[in-house]
Each structure stands twice: as structure tokens, then as C-alpha cells.
Amino acid sequence: MKVHIPSALRSYTESSEAEASGATLGAVLADLDRRYAGIRFRMIDEQDRIRPHIRIFVNGDQVRDLVQPLRATDEVVIVQALSGG
Amino acid sequence: MARNSGQTAGKKQGRATHARSVLVLVATRKGAWLYHSDATRSEWRADGPHFLGHTVNHLVLDPRDGRTLLAAAKTGHLGPTVFRSTDLGRTWKEAARPPAFAKAADGKEGRAVDHTFWLTPGHAGEPDVWYAGTSPQGLFRSQDGGVTWEPFSPINDDPQYRKWMGTVQDGTPDGPKLHSIIVDPRDRAHLYFAMSGGGVHESLDGGRTWVPLLKGLEVVEGFDRSEATFHDPHCIRLCPSNPDRLYQQNHCGIYRLDRPSDEWVRIGKSMPQPVGDIGFPMVVHPRDADAAWVFPMDGTSVWPRTSPEGMPAVYATRDGGKTWRRLDAGLPAKQAWWTVKRQAMTADAADPVGLYFGTTSGELWSSRDEGRRWTCIAQHLPEIYAVEAAEPA
């Protein structure tokens, strides 16, 4: 499926979009990490929690849990969410 | 207690090195810079920014090969990582497994590394070993030059140590930190580290077991000084010329420890009373264990943490802390309200010793004569978190 990559993570993908597959959000992110080593840990901490300033949307709805089931036709959007100077 | 090397505490003279060049590594809230100079240290060439936009807490050159750099970095959005360069910063590669706590058992609340705060190269006899300290407090070790990192379970998961670490409210405004990781140059298994908060700790067996080293240290009035959790060491340095001597800048004063004693002596009592002995950094002389430098800050009332009276100054001792001398020639004489963080002041190994500090307002200052005269070598940088001086190969 198509995964939209925010600018903060494009040093890994060198593109605003990437392809990854998996039956859950966690599986898709693991597949993304296989293709772009290190990208998952920048988004997901060692306790499998989404980091505080990362948001993940599936088909426009925010997802907070890596066990969320996904279909091959779903669109995953990763967003960097932070304000401040 | 540390093993006794047979050395007596006090003055030990080492041999000056003849540096071909000096490299000053500057880590800031929004990137890192490398400043190159020749042995005269009179002209500096800036190389940077590296990692623009990343918060870089520490940037360290491996003294064992003179060309490997490790940078502890994160951004506002992204999790922490370590970058590694083997060509003095021309190219960088991310660690394959950055410092991270062990996954908690099901149903347990696990900790996550917010940022790697401190990097220490290992013993000269272990060329690929590095240590890292994190926020929240964690101790990590790499055996492959910083590519992969493993947690130190006897600290990170020990119930007693977890109690001493407290919560995120028991640390600095930027989170509780494990710092000042020190490897005894005579014995790779003899280690120290400190925690803000959580006290000073020592291991004689390579990190398998640890004991607190708190005797003589004061805590904030009203708290129990026997409890490690109430201790807030800001920076500890071991004297290269006499590894039985350590100096410490603490939240509650300046201290010296001469092993095999395990009792810290508050040498900051001899600082001028209006200035006090509160600050963040601690710097030791590379060849004279009686010489050290501090950068005091205002620790009165609500703790402004600025230069006292807006008049920044370094204070130096040449007699192990019995007396202190103000060194402010070249520094602003008034209305300068910055300060210097715990990793942001250091010394090179040249003769005379060069001193360097970076300010919270983004200025990099240096002295080529052990602090007698100061010169600003860079300004308008982001807030400076760490400064290291090194000799590249």
C-alpha cells in the first residue's frame, strides 16, 4: 500500500511516498523499516508506542494502535505534528 | 571503593602534547558545528551546520583513532538516534540500533529513551567500546564503535536504581539525565557515572554491580542526604594526570574526591561568597591535578541560572580548591545574562592549555592561556549544549 512520508523522514525514503505491505499498521511499519533501515524507531519507541509528535492516519482517520488491521487498498499518511521555536 | 594505585592525592604533572591541530566540536539545540584550527589556535574555520534542525546533545571525537565522530541527535518530531562518521564529519551514517530500553513485559509500563545525552569513548584497550547516558536515566554500551547499543540491565532495570531515578519530575527541565560516564584509564572495569537526579555511582567490575558514592555531598535543605534520589551532581571529571582525583560541580556546590577515600570534600566553600559555588560545568587540567575551572551561575532565590550579576566569569583553582581566582578578561563586563551548560566547557591538551565554552545564547569563547584572556570565536549559533576539544589524526 501507499504510505505518505513527512519531510522529517524523507532522508530515509528520498521520496514523499513509499510502498509497504502488511496486515496491520505494525506490520506495515516493520516492512517500511526493512526497506528503509532505521525509519521505524524514529516514529515508534521501544515500547511500541507512537512517538508524541508523530500522527498516523489511515484513510483520513487517526490511528493510535499498531494492531490496527489494514487492507492493501488503504492509504497510510504519516504526519509530523509539532509547534514551537 | 576504588582500587589504590599507589599514587598519593595531589599534584601530578603530566607531559604536554604538541598538537598539530585542534578541533572544537559544538553541539547545539539546532545542529552541530566543527571548528578547526592549527596549533596556534588563533584562527578558526567553521564546518557546519551538520544535522541542521536536530537537537544535538553531544558530539565526541574518538581519541583512540582521531577520526571517528559520534553525535547524539534527535529532532522535535522524531525519536533519538546516534550518527557516526569515520571521516571527521564528511559523511555520516546512522546507528543500526540506537540506545533503547528493553521492551517491558506485557502489562508493565516500559520506558523509552527521549534522547541520548552523553557519550564516552571506552578504555584505550577496548577500541570499539563506547558508553552512552540517556534521558530518562539509562546506561548503554556499544562494542562495535557505536553501530549497535545494548542496555545495561543492572542499572536500567534494577528496582533500587529505578527508585533512585525517580520520575521525570525529579530531573532537569529537559528531563532526568545520566551523565559523566567515566572510565578509569588504568582499569577498564572501573567505571563511574552520575544522574541528575540520582547521585554518583561506581563499579569495580565493568558494570555488573554498582554502589553509590555520596558521602560528603550536600543536598537541598530539608532532604535526606543518605537517599541517592535527592542528589544532583551536575558534572564530574577525573584528572587524567592523577586518576585517583575527581572534581564535581554539583547542584549544591563544588567538590573534590581523592581515592581511596569515598568522601567528597566541598572545595567550593572557598569561592567568593557573592558568586557562590553553583554552576553546571567542571573542567580539569590535562597535566596538573591541582588545577580546575568552573563557570558559576546564579543559584539564589528562584535560581535564575544566569551569570551572577550579569557579569560572566570563569573561576580557576591551582591548589586543588583551596583558593579560586576570577578569570574574566575579554568577557563582557556587564549585562551578559547567559550561562554555560554542563557539557559546554572543556580544555584541550596543549601547553598552555586552551579552554573553550559555549553559551546558552550561542556564543563560543576560547582562551589560549588557561583562562587569562578570553576571545569570542563564534556567535549567533543556536543554544549551545556541548563543547569538546580534540586532536584529530
Tens of pLDDT, residue by residue over B106-163, are 888 899 999 999 999 999 999 999 999 999 999 999 999 999 999 998 999 999 999 9
Q: Is B120 exposed, middle or buried (0-12, 13-18, 19+ CB in 10 A)?
A: buried
Contact yes or no for A82 and B77 at CB 8 A: yes
Mutate which of A46, A49, A82 to disrupt the B interface (most B C-beta within 10 Å)? A46
Q: Which residues from chain A sit within 8 angstroms of residue B103, using beta carbons?
A: 46-48
Per-residue pLDDT for B7 more than 70?
A: no
| 3-class secondary structure, B141 | strand
Residue of B nearest to A38 (CA): B96
Asked if A54's CB is within 8 angstroms of B78's CB, the reply is yes
The burial of B386, by beta-carbon neighbours within 10 Å (0-12 exposed, 13-18 middle, 19 or more buried), is given as: buried
B 41-100 residues with CB below 8 A of A? 75-79, 81, 94-96, 98, 100
pLDDT score for B351: 95
pLDDT (average), residues B76-86 = 96
CA-nearest of B79, B118, B102, B101 to A12 is B79
Q: What angle do CA B169, B308, B384 make, to 5 degrees?
A: 60
Residue B6's pLDDT band, with cuts at 50, 70 and 90, is very low
Distances (CA, A) of B362 to A79, B305, B366, B371, B377: 31, 16, 13, 19, 11
Residue of chain B minimizing CA distance to A44: B79
In which band, very low, low, confident or very high, does the pLDDT at B21 lie, cut at 50, 70 and 90?
Answer: very high
Q: Per-residue pLDDT for B293 more than 90?
A: yes
Reading the block at residue B196, the C-alpha cell is 541528575
Model pLDDT, residue B316:
98
Q: What is the DSSP letter of B301?
A: T
Q: What per-residue confidence (pLDDT) applies to B20?
A: 81
C-alpha dihedral, B79 to B84 to B88 to B89, nearest 10°: -40
Please say whether the beta carbons of B156 and B100 come within 8 A: no
Would you tell me how many other CB atoms lie within 10 Å of the CB of residue B91? 9
Per the DSSP assignment, residues forming a β-bridge with A79 are A55
3-state SS, residue A72:
coil
Cβ contacts of B77 on chain A, cutoff 8 Å: 6, 8, 51, 53-54, 80-82
| Predicted pLDDT of residue B15 | 56
Residue B312, all three cell numbers = 560572566
Check: CB of residue B352 under 8 Å from CB of residue B369. Answer: yes
CB contact under 8 A, A37 and B113: no
Reported confidence tier of residue A56, pLDDT bands at 50, 70, 90: very high
pLDDT reported for residue B362? 98
Please tell me the pTM assigned to this model.
Answer: 0.94
CA distance A44 to A33: 11
For residues B6-18, average pLDDT:
49
Could you tell me the sign of the dihedral formed by the alpha carbons of B318, B353, B293, B170, in that order? negative
Output the average pLDDT for chain B: 94
Chain B residues in contact with A84 by the CB 8 A cut-off are 76
Which pLDDT belongs to residue B172? 78
Alpha-carbon distance of B225 to B219, in angstroms, equals 6
Query: Looking at the partner chain, which of A9, A38, A84 has a beta carbon nearest the beta carbon of B76?
Result: A84
What pLDDT digit, counting tens, does each position of B256-278 carry? 999 999 999 999 999 999 999 99
Tell me the ipTM for this assembly: 0.92
pLDDT digits (tens, 9 = 90+) for B323-366: 999 999 999 999 999 999 999 999 999 999 999 999 999 999 99
B113/A contact by beta carbon, under 8 A = yes
Instruction: Name the pLDDT band for B300 (thresholds 50, 70, 90).
Output: confident
**Distance of alpha carbon B383 from alpha carbon B223, whole angstroms:** 33
Instruction: Give the burial string for B214-231 (b: 16+ CB within 10 Å, else e).
Output: beebbbeeeeebebbbbb
If one compares B121 and B1, the residue with the highest pLDDT of the two is B121
**What value does the mean pLDDT take over residues B42-65?**
97
Cβ contact, residue pair B112, A49, below 8 Å: yes
